[in-house]
């Protein structure tokens, strides 16, 4: 089973629950319809990776603020994750009204930073993602259509979130394909304070 890091602890998530279409400008950049209700899908434990691989010219990175679940629905930690997507496969599946798993749930499609303790108040959190030194994505709490607590409550209404599970809260605008050798750097912030910084280099 794949694991993530929470300070010096090793955590084994049973699943990853992802929110789709949670930022208006991202919905617009992909030409999608505004959803009437929260869009949710899952990735399995086998999707987890610390390494950033190149898969194909059609594979897209989508940076997301992530929640690490604790006991009784509590948000124990926050971190950053890439939801990698085979965009060509997803477009074919969407056109036929079919599920997205082949495009979203493949091995290595969920790349995570270490997780840190979540602030008591989440209203100031966000992230900045740089690709080869250029800012490509920036997310803030106030830009989310569905906020973290509402996301957790929606999931909990029909699916048990076990301690150690991860919730990916959706990606802002700026998603793109990527190349071998690209270097990504992310900063998670709370107001003006940098809480976490992590870098990846894309490998074969």
Q: Tell me: the pLDDT tens digits for 131-165?
A: 999 999 999 999 999 999 999 999 999 999 999 99
Strand order in the sheet with 85-86: 85-86, 59-61, 176-177
Q: Within 10 Å of residue 180's Cβ, how many Cβ atoms?
A: 10
**CA 202/CA 197 separation, integer angstroms:** 17
Total domain count for the chain? 1
pTM: 0.96
Count how many Cα atoms sit within 13 Å of the Cα of residue 44 in the half-sphere of its side chain: 9
CATH number at residue 81: 3.90.850.10
Name the residue range of residue 158's domain. Answer: 4-201
Q: Does pLDDT of 31 surpass 80? A: no
Q: Does pLDDT of 27 surpass 70? A: no
Q: Give residue 29's pLDDT.
A: 74
* Partner residues linked to 190 by β-bridges: 125, 193
């Amino acid at each position: 089973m794949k694991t993530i890091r929470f300070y010096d602890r090793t955590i084994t998530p049973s699943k990853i629950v992802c929110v789709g279409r949670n930022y208006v400008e991202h919905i617009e950049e992909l030409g999608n319809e505004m959803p009437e209700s929260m869009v949710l899908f899952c990735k399995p434990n086998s999707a987890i990776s610390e390494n950033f691989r190149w898969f194909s010219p059609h594979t897209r990175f989508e940076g997301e603020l992530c929640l690490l679940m604790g006991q009784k629905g509590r948000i124990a930690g926050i971190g950053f994750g890439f939801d990698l997507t085979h965009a060509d496969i997803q477009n074919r599946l969407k056109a036929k009204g079919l599920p997205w798993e082949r495009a979203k749930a493949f091995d290595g499609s969920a790349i995570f930073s270490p997780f840190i303790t979540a602030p008591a108040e989440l209203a100031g959190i966000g992230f900045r993602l740089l690709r080869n030194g250029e800012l490509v994505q920036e997310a803030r709490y106030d830009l989310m259509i569905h906020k973290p607590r509402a996301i957790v409550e929606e999931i909990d209404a029909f699916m048990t979130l076990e301690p150690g599970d991860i919730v990916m809260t959706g990606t802002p605008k700026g998603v793109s394909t990527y190349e071998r050798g690209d270097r990504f750097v992310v900063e998670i912030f709370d107001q003006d304070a940098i809480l976490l910084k992590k870098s990846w280099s894309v490998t074969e």
